[in-house]
Structure 1
Amino acid sequence: MAKNVIVNRVKEFLQKYPPFSFLKEETLFAVATGVEVMYFEEGEYLFRKGDPARPHFFIVKEGAISLNEEREGQATTVEYCDEGDVFGVLALLGKRPYILHAQANENSLVYAIPVQVFEAILKENSRVATYFAAGFASGQVVVRSDLSSSKKARTLFNDPTKDTGLLMFSGQSGLKFSSPVISCLKGTSVGEAARTMSEKSIGSIVVRNEQNYALGIVTDKDLRKRLIAKGLPYTTKVEYIMSSPVITIAQQVDFAQAYLKMVKNRVHHLLITEDGSVASPMVGLISNHDILLSQGNSPAVIINTLQHSLEVKEIAQLRQQSEALLKYYLENEVSIDFVAGIITEINDVIVQRAMSMAQSIHKEEFPEMQDVGFCFLGLGSEGRGEQLLRTDLDNAIIFEDVPKALEQTASNYFHLIARDVIDVLLACGFHTCPAEMMANNPRWCQPLSVWKGYFSKWIREPDQPSLMMATVFFDFRPVAGKSELAEALTSHIYGEIEKHKLFLNFLAKNALLNPPPLGFFRNFLVEKSGEHRDKFDIKLRAMMPLADMGRLLVLSHRAVGINNTFKRYEMLATLEPKQEALFLEAGQAYEIFMRIRAIEGLETQSSGRYIQPEKLGKLQRQLLKNAFLPIEELQKMIRVRFQLDYFGS
């Protein structure tokens, strides 16, 4: 009886922590039955580096165990393991000597789990296998110095979506394509090319030059629209009806990149060449006809349907459908880069469709405005291509300066366009911005000259309101309309910063307003009062500091064209090789925060901003804590680089 009581207590403890929390009741009971309880006094070693692996791995029941290594003759702590932390799994996975010392940091109680009990479980339970593969194989908790391994365990281990219609490509599978490429020389008649297509039972043929480089592609659609519909003879040369240029990719590109390129360029074929350029030998051809359009819930189908939608209700339904797609992608470990690219593209198409519908409605009333260029800008998270959930809207409109006599007309016209576009976005489930930083606010629907004035003032007079505006408006991105207007504004901004370089010091000071997310004793900094008391604000405490610092550093390098936070850090790693490791970790940390926030938002039907730390599993807490570390390191670097200790208030 006493033994059963002890086993039940062990089982109750284990089931609170992964990977034991993934086990069925009877399996967990069998594990608990084989557990050996060990006690270690403060300073006592459990094992030393180089010792042969024991037939157990360990979980801390009470106390704390430090994992140490020798660096230049000094003992350096790599990680502290406290209650629920698993360590010493080399015996389970590698069966090789330990690479770290394990020493009791205080009087500690440890459960030793027999290896043989878990070997069968690893083979049968993929969630357990994923957990151990995600950074635990080194004999320690998730390695702090390498967030890339932590990313493998970034799922929150929810029950997978049952909708197999969403079973799209993970972005990690191999690229399948047709090879060799069926082609014809420039100068070939359309009739001859069509016969080849018929004989080979293919829907397209690549047109090449004498060097065997692609010049264009002729598809069934080209034959119908550019030859038959126009009554041209079959002796017409293929180059007169081909689609050109051909969109190409490299053979080494994975499916996620290829698929995203297909979606972005609205093409049904991608030509694979040796180096990814047109001036390179052809390797294969990939089509979305069989691969993509067979998937009823694929982004290609959603985007294609959106482009032809005439009803706001249908657009809203399609955006809701993409939410299910997002949920599936997150649960199945699809890379955040890929997910963000797809969701951003869907959001952009909705804006573009809404803009087209609004222009059509007001065309007759404002004929003089039809030749006036404009650009709809995404701001904030949407401007950075990071708005996975339908959270607050931040956007604006720039339009060309017009003669004074037309200024009021232009203002009226574009305010109506902005109103209609925002109405569509609200109907799709997006929320209004509490600060009204939206295009339907007349202040944020202005000609280029006014926008230049706004940014000049914010840069020349960097008080707190100006810096607050900078954190939102400096991440603008053209979504619809004339992108040259956005480019002109970007050029103006960099010109102003060059003349007022102290602005970056003010921006740096503003970027450090939020302290690192962990307080003393490695606890989460949570809200102290109000509606979200005792919750962790992942946007304010973790995401905003990284976004603000990424923006600051990119501005300081005058790097144009990349707004996305984790891509900014990838660029910074290239620009500053000495800081490469830190910047790459920062980018990886930001991706983890995006994923956790999106999953939280989908689960709670909220913005996902506020998280309850006590409801996080052990792995989730560890991943978050690991991801916090680059924030503190970056803040130290920026404090020194921008001389903030000597910079006045």
Structure 2
Amino acid sequence: MANVIVNRVKEFLKKYPPFNFLTDDLLELVAREVELIYYEKGEYLFEKGEPAKKHFFVVREGAIHLTEELAGISHTREHCDEGDVFGVLALLGKRPYILTAQAVEDSLLYAIPVHVFDDIMQKNSRVSMYFAAGFASGQVVVRTDLSQSQEARKLFNSPAQDNGLMIFSGQSLVNYSYPVVSCQLGDTVAMAVKKMSSRGVGSIIVLDGDAFPKGIITDKDLRNRLIAKGKPYETKVEEIMSHPVRTTHTKADFAHIYLTMIKHRLHHLLITEDGTDQSELVGIISDHDILLSQGNSPAVIINALQGTSDIKEIAKLRDQSERLLGYYLENEISIDFVAGIITEINDIIVQRAIQLAKNKHDTSFKEASKVKFCFVGLGSEGRGEQLLRTDLDNAIIYEDVPESLSDQAASYFHLIARDVMDILFACGFQACPGEMMANNPQWCQPISIWKRYFSDWIRQPDQESLMMATIFFDYRPVAGFHPLANSLTEHIYSEIEKEKIFLNFFAKNALLNPPPLGFFRNFIVEKSGEQRDKFDIKLRAMMPLADAARLLMLSHRVFGINNTFKRFEKLAELEPTNQELYLDAGKAYEIFMRIRALEGLKNQTSGRYIQPESLGKLQRQLLKNAFFPIDELQKIIRVRFQLDYFAS
């Protein structure tokens, strides 16, 4: 009889991570130690602040809510049902619980003793990184618990685990599921649930008459949109499905898939014939598939950042991401992918910093704290290209307020900006020498002032205005109310439409730095100062490309794409006759970004100034080839914007 029970436990556990990572022998060892516990609806398993128990839990049947009380109101942070793991503080932090666990229906749980898993955690990196990444059955149920765990940090820092940082090797590594369980628009939820149950899956895709995906229904949708609302099972699937769905194409590589899911916090990504929701469904990828494919990922850092309010911890995590950056660069990982990951990490740090600042000041500025605002990144940060912790360029845009609230709003946002910048400095980011930062009151202003700034720069394009435009045109909303940034963008294009001559001035400014084609003969290096005899890769290689891409995108009235190499990709689409040049320019920019980042990591600098003799033969040849698109681009700009006539 005992063996029968053990086998039942094994059969259940092996369907869910991290138990499906275990060998049969280890799984049996775990199953033999499991205790079955019953909780009635409404009963508490543990409360916030209680010492961690000597076991963690897996839901066998029923449902558990993990809640937190704020201002006397209980907020549900996670809903755990069949197969979900929770209460792992006993495994990792050995600290009091930070959430309360309550059975919301009669529930059976497996309680797994910590001592059984101690040895497994030490020896099985896939299990360790599963918990460290905060995933459980396709959702993050212990994110905050795990983000501060000493074990996860030790594992991530361990040299023996460095191979786990390599999550992309150039090809698609994720096997998507097919055939996908699906139903049709117009079907009832009862029909959909029957299909889900018969196939043993937790989601179903809703298709239209052309077999194009229109929505997805998960167990969570059934709970929250059907059962909780008291709707009958005869409800049509379209009434409770999540939509629109996010899709990608069959040839998407792992980098694209992984970044899409990380950036949009997706649990499921659909694969279609052409990558849109207007073509046939081919397969589905879950975040669990991603986890099984890689075992370790930047999700460790991202989940940890989202769960901590400790500034020292945030700084440590940013240090970890720099080590991750070094590993990616050394292994020739796509710069597009690397930039996406580092940008996402930097953005989350800013978002956490803003939340910490708001927590500190909102109670003292009750009216001003309700004013909508947008924190924007500028320069390389705005372009999503800030791989190293170089100079910060950013600003705050907030909505216009009544005169009576003007001073209070200004004071409030200046305090928010000050605290955010202090946190970023504590994380190793450098201050902008020109003080183009949100903590400078000049760059922390209501939307009407920002519109006036840009109008002045566009209508009076003197040298100072053009310099400002070069920096500020690459703004990107990082946190807050994005429509404010969008409103500013619409204003800018409206102003440029009225003052078309501005683009000619802007084009002239883009030619200030000619390509260093004599680099390998005469070494175009700095002639004096601290950086004498060094090559300025930012000024002489990267800026000419960034300036050209920005100008050409403005001339095409395309906004929403700030990244330089992505701008060149878009320009290749818009101008087929120059497609090859634009694609080469994008590749050149990626080369410069990689070389600068490697130089910066090696010397613990910004990487801007390079000692020419330190470059190897291959790097020198790579640089030489990368300079030529600059010259060709500047020829196009000179002709297109009639700069020879304009100069005279």
TM normalised by structure 1 equals: 0.71
CA spacing shift, 1:520–1:449, aligned 2, 3 Å: closer
**Offset of residue 318 of structure 1:** 2.3
Q: Against the structure 1 CA distance between its residues 199 and 312, is the aligned structure 2 distance closer, same or farther, given a 3 Å change threshold?
A: farther
Q: How does 1:32-47 map to 2 (within 5 A)?
A: none
Alignment-mate amino acid for residue 264 of structure 1: K
Name the amino acid aligned to 1:184: C
**For 1:231 and 1:310, how far apart are their aligned partners in 2?**
38
Q: Please tell me the residue identity of whatever aligns with 1:571.
A: K
Task: Judge conservation of contact 1:171–1:257 (CA < 8 Å) in 2.
Answer: no
TM superposition shift of 1:455: 1.1
SS at 1:212 equivalent:
coil
AA aligned to 2:426 is A
After superposition, give the CA deviation of every residue in 1:559-586 in whole Å (9 maximum; x if it has no partner).
2221111122222222223222222211
What code does the residue aligned with 2:593 have? M
Find the counterpart in structure 2 of residue 574 from structure 1. 573
SS at match of 1:478: strand
Cα displacement (A) at 1:610: 1.1
Aligned twin of 2:472: 473
Q: Is the 8 A contact 1:536 1:610 kept in 2?
A: yes
Aligned-pair distance for 1:469? 0.9
Query: What is the CA–CA distance in structure 1 between the aligned matches of 2:637 and 2:521, rounded to whole Å?
Result: 23
Structure 1 window deviating more from structure 2 (203-212 vs 382-391): it is 203-212
Using the TM superposition, give the Cα deviation of residue 370 of structure 1 relative to its aligned residue in structure 2, in angstroms. 4.1
Compute the displacement of 1:281 (Å): 2.2
Query: Partner letter of residue 468 of structure 2?
Result: M
Match of 1:379 in 2: 378
1:103-156 deviations in Å (ceiling 9; x for gaps):
xxxxxxxxxxxxxxxxxxxxxxxxxxxxxxxxxxxxxxxxxxxxxxxxxxxxxx
Number of the residue aligned with 1:269? 268
Counterpart check, 1:452 vs 2:447: no
- Per-residue CA deviation, residues 160-205 of structure 1 (Å, 9 max, x unaligned), is 9970120202353355200000123456665665564454343322
1:389–1:607 contact (8 Å) kept in structure 2: yes
SS of the residue corresponding to residue 216 of structure 1 reads strand
User: In structure 2, what is the equivalent of residue 362 of structure 1?
Assistant: 361
Q: 1:496 to 1:208 in 2, by over 3 A?
A: closer
**Structure 1 residues 480 and 411, CA gap change in structure 2 (3 angstroms):** same
For the structure 1 residues 554 and 279, does the alpha-carbon distance in structure 2 shift closer, same or farther, using more than 3 Å as the test? closer
Q: Deviations over 1:28-47 (max 9, x none)?
A: xxxxxxxxxxxxxxxxxxxx
Aligned positions of 1:27-176 closer than 5 A: 163-173=162-172, 175-176=174-175
Is the 8 Å Cα contact of residues 172 and 334 (structure 1) preserved in structure 2?
no
For structure 1, which segment, 216-225 or 606-615, has the greater mean C-alpha deviation from structure 2 after superposition? 216-225
The number of residues matched between the two structures is 490
Partner residue in 1 for 2:334: 335
- Matches of 2:298 and 2:345 in 1, distance apart? 8
CA apart distance, 1:381: 0.4
Report the residue type matching 1:212 in the other structure: A
Aligned counterpart, 1:549: 548
Determine the structure 1 residue equivalent to 2:202: 203
Q: Distance in 2 between matches of 1:212 and 1:474?
A: 42
Residue matched to 1:583: 582
Q: 1:584-605: CA deviations, max 9, x gaps?
A: 2111111110111111111111
**Does residue 1:311 correspond to 2:327, yes or no?**
no
The structure-2 alpha-carbon separation of the partners of 1:241 and 1:645, relative to structure 1 and needing over 3 Å to count, comes to: closer
Q: Hey, what does 1:243 align to over in structure 2?
A: 242
What secondary structure, in the 3-state scheme, does the structure 2 residue paired with 1:173 have? coil
Query: Contact (CA 8 Å) 2:246, 2:269: kept in 1 or not?
Result: yes
Q: 1:588 to 1:248 in 2, by over 3 A?
A: same
Higher relative contact order (CA 8 A, sep 6+): 1
Amino acid at match of 1:343: I
Residue 55 (structure 2) aligns with: none
Contact kept in structure 2, 1:322 and 1:343, CA below 8 Å: yes
Q: Once the 2 structures are TM-superposed, how far is the Cα of residue 424 of structure 1 from its aligned partner? A: 2.2
Distance 1:232 1:321, change over 3 A: farther
Q: Shift in Å at residue 613 of structure 1?
A: 1.2
Shift of residue 521, structure 1, vs aligned partner: 6.5
Q: Which amino acid aligns with 2:400?
A: D
Contact 2:395/2:443 (CA < 8 Å) preserved in 1?
yes
* Distance in structure 1 (CA, Å) of the matches to 2:209 and 2:633: 53
Aligned to 2:64: none
| Alpha-carbon separation, structure 2, partners of 1:191 and 1:591 | 52
- TM-score where L is the length of structure 2: 0.71
**Is the contact between residue 518 and residue 628 of structure 1 (CA under 8 Å) also seen in structure 2?**
yes
Partner letter of residue 438 of structure 1?
A: M
2:312 maps to a residue whose letter is K
Instruction: Determine helix, strand or coil for the equivalent of 1:532.
Output: coil
Partner of 1:527: 526
Question: Once the 2 structures are TM-superposed, how far is the Cα of residue 648 of structure 1 from its aligned partner?
Answer: 4.2
Aligned counterpart, 2:406: 407
Which residue identity does 1:420 align to in structure 2? D
In structure 1, distance between residues paired with 2:398 and 2:462 = 27
Question: What is the one-letter code of the residue matched to 1:248?
Answer: T
Distance 1:372 1:286 in 2: 40
2:379 partner amino acid: G
Label 1:558 to 1:267 Cα distance change in 2 as closer, same or farther (>3 A): same
Distance 1:548 1:500 in 2: 19
Shift of 1:645: 3.1
Q: Secondary structure at the match of 1:367?
A: coil
Match of 1:24 in 2: none
* 2:567 equivalent to 1:607: no
Distance 1:377 1:482 in 2: 10
Q: Indicate how the Cα distance of structure 1 residues 293 and 602 shifts in structure 2: closer, same or farther if over 3 A, else same.
A: farther
Using the alignment, how far apart are the partners of 2:212 and 2:165 within structure 1? 37
* Bigger mean CA deviation after superposition, 568-577 or 589-598: 568-577
Measure how far apart 1:624 and its partner are.
0.2
What does residue 627 of structure 2 align with? 628
- Structure 2: distance between partners of 1:274 and 1:550: 31
C-alpha spacing 1:520/1:570, structure 2 compared with 1 (3 Å): closer
Change (3 A) 1:376 1:162: same
Deviation at 1:618, TM superposition (A): 0.8
Structure 1 counterpart of 2:44 = none
What residue number does 2:428 align with?
429
- Offset at 1:400? 0.7
- Does the 8 A contact of 1:217 with 1:243 survive in 2? yes
Which deviates the most, 554-563 or 404-413?
A: 554-563
How far does residue 472 in structure 1 lie from its aligned partner after superposition?
0.6
Deviates more, 1:377-386 or 1:308-317: 308-317
- Name the CA shift for 1:208/1:521 in 2 (closer, same or farther; >3 Å): closer
User: Which residue matches 1:323?
Assistant: 322
Displacement of 1:282: 1.6
Matched residue, 2:259: 260
Q: Which amino acid counterpart does residue 421 of structure 1 have in structure 2?
A: V
Q: Name the amino acid aligned to 1:261.
A: T
1:427, distance to aligned residue in structure 2 (A) = 2.0
Structure-2 residue corresponding to 1:214:
213
Select between 355-364 and 412-421 the one with higher mean Cα deviation: 355-364
Q: Tell me which amino acid in the other structure corresponds to 2:497.
A: E
* Pairwise CA distance, 1:290: 3.8
Gaps spanning 5+ residues in structure 1: where? 1-159
What is the CA deviation profile of residues 37-80 of structure 1, one whole-angstrom value per residue up to 9, with x for unaligned ones? xxxxxxxxxxxxxxxxxxxxxxxxxxxxxxxxxxxxxxxxxxxx
Which residue in 2 is equivalent to 1:509? 508
Please give the alpha-carbon distance, in whole angstroms, between the structure 1 residues aligned to 2:495 and 2:217: 48
1:27 maps to what in 2?
A: none
CA contact (8 A) 1:372 1:399 kept: yes
Please say if residues 376 and 382 of structure 2, whose CA atoms lie closer than 8 Å, have aligned partners that are also in contact.
yes
The structural deviation recorded for 1:346 is 1.6
Is the 8 Å Cα contact of residues 292 and 300 (structure 1) preserved in structure 2? Answer: no
**Is 1:438 equivalent to 2:437 in the alignment?**
yes
CA distance in 1, matches of 2:525, 2:433: 23
**Quick check: 380-389 or 235-244, which moved more?**
235-244
SS of structure 2 residue aligned to 1:389: coil
Q: d(CA) in 2 for partners of 1:330 and 1:297?
A: 17
The equivalent residue for 1:31 is none
What is the Cα deviation at residue 325 of structure 1?
A: 2.0
2:491 maps to amino acid: H
CA 1:562 to 1:430, structure 2 compared with 1: closer, same or farther past 3 Å? same
Please, which moves more after superposition, 527-536 or 437-446?
527-536
Deviation (angstroms), 1:498: 2.3
What's the offset of the Cα at 1:407?
0.7
